[in-house]
């Protein structure tokens, strides 16, 4: 059976077919700030209707944007399944008292991390927000953090003070001009959050977890996190795990 996975974030949709080994194949990214998401999907994914195929969807976008994507999917696939955060699945147990309040993207990233190996992971997503989640080797989630991403910080500063540019500049430890100072401060804030989380996770677990970095904004931070494992499509990997778990059940 042909199967695709779709991850709808706040600014982009990512999609991939599943390979024979159950892992995502080549990923297609679609910006979805346009009014007509269906037209954007048609242009990026000219898929003919496949009534015997199925699609799995995870979305943190608005209800209206999610519904538009679901409508498009139902014209292409015979079955459309929507992932939700669950208290426990595929060896992962969520720390939240109300697991439904944990974003499905974070949940799926945890599934993908655990599937990569039964070891401790600090899973960091860099998108509109920076999300940090700690997972131990037993698959127990210890909770996490959420903060604005460097991009969002720059946008907020520019909105509050129009003379501050929302883009530009480069990271340096002590900047000598404003664009560099903004880039260094906002990226440095994210790096400081990650580094403190790593330090505290090491104290909690007694050994350092492996840093697993994903998300559209991860590339800007990677040069200063040389020990990180980078996974460009971690949520899609987790969605594939979720789909497999449903089939196994």
- 3-state SS track over 56-88: EEEECCCHHHHHHHHHHHHCCEEEEEECCCCCE
Closest CA to 3 of 16, 12, 13: 16
- Asked whether residue 12 falls in the same domain as residue 70, the answer is yes
Q: What is the mean pLDDT of the chain?
A: 93
Residue 111 included in any domain? no
The rounded distance, in Å, linking the Cα atoms of 143 and 13 is: 26
Q: What is the mean pLDDT of residues 76-86?
A: 95
Q: Range with the lowest mean pLDDT among 63-77, 181-195, 235-249?
A: 235-249
Q: What is the pLDDT of residues 92-142, one digit of tens each?
A: 999 999 999 999 999 999 999 999 999 999 999 999 999 999 999 999 999
Q: Which of 82, 110, 139 is the last residue of a domain?
A: 82
The CATH number linked to 63 is 3.30.420.40
- Asked whether residue 133 falls in the same domain as residue 227, the answer is yes
Catalytic annotation present for 248: no
- Asked whether residue 30 falls in the same domain as residue 135, the answer is no
- Asked whether residue 29 falls in the same domain as residue 134, the answer is no
Confidence at residue 248, expressed as pLDDT on a 0 to 100 scale: 46
Residue 188 included in any domain? yes
Confidence at residue 34, expressed as pLDDT on a 0 to 100 scale: 59
Beta-bridged to residue 54, according to DSSP, are 3, 79
Catalytic position from the list 105, 133, 177, 249:
105
Residue 173 included in any domain? yes
- Asked whether residue 151 falls in the same domain as residue 205, the answer is yes
Residue 248 included in any domain? no
**Does 27 have pLDDT greater than 60?**
yes
Contact 73, 82 (CB under 8 A): no
- Asked whether residue 41 falls in the same domain as residue 132, the answer is no
- Asked whether residue 226 falls in the same domain as residue 126, the answer is yes
User: What domain range is 36 assigned to?
Assistant: 3-82
- Asked whether residue 63 falls in the same domain as residue 149, the answer is no
Residue 244 included in any domain? no
């Amino acid at each position: 059976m042909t199967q695709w996975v779709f991850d709808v974030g706040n600014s982009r949709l990512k999609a991939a077919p599943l390979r024979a080994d159950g892992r995502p194949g080549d990923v297609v990214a679609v910006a979805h700030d346009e009014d007509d998401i269906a037209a954007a999907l048609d242009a990026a994914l000219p898929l003919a209707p496949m009534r015997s195929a199925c699609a799995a969807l995870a979305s943190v976008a608005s209800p209206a944007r999610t519904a538009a994507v679901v409508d498009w999917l139902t014209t292409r696939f015979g079955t459309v399944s929507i992932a939700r955060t669950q208290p426990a699945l595929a060896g992962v147990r969520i720390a939240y008292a109300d697991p439904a309040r944990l974003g499905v993207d974070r949940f799926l990233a945890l599934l993908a991390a655990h599937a990569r190996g039964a070891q401790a992971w600090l899973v960091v997503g860099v998108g509109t927000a920076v999300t940090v989640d700690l997972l131990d080797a037993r698959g127990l989630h210890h909770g996490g953090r959420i903060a604005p991403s460097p991009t969002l910080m720059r946008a907020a500063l520019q909105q509050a003070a129009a003379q501050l540019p929302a883009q530009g500049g480069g990271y340096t430890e002590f900047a000598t001009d404003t664009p560099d100072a903004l880039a260094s401060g906002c990226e440095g804030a994210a790096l400081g959050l990650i580094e403190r989380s790593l330090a505290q996770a090491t104290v909690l677990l007694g050994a350092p977890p492996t840093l697993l970095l994903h998300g559209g904004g991860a590339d800007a931070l990677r040069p200063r996190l040389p020990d990180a494992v980078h996974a460009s499509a971690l949520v899609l990997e987790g969605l594939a795990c979720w789909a497999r778990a449903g089939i196994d059940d």
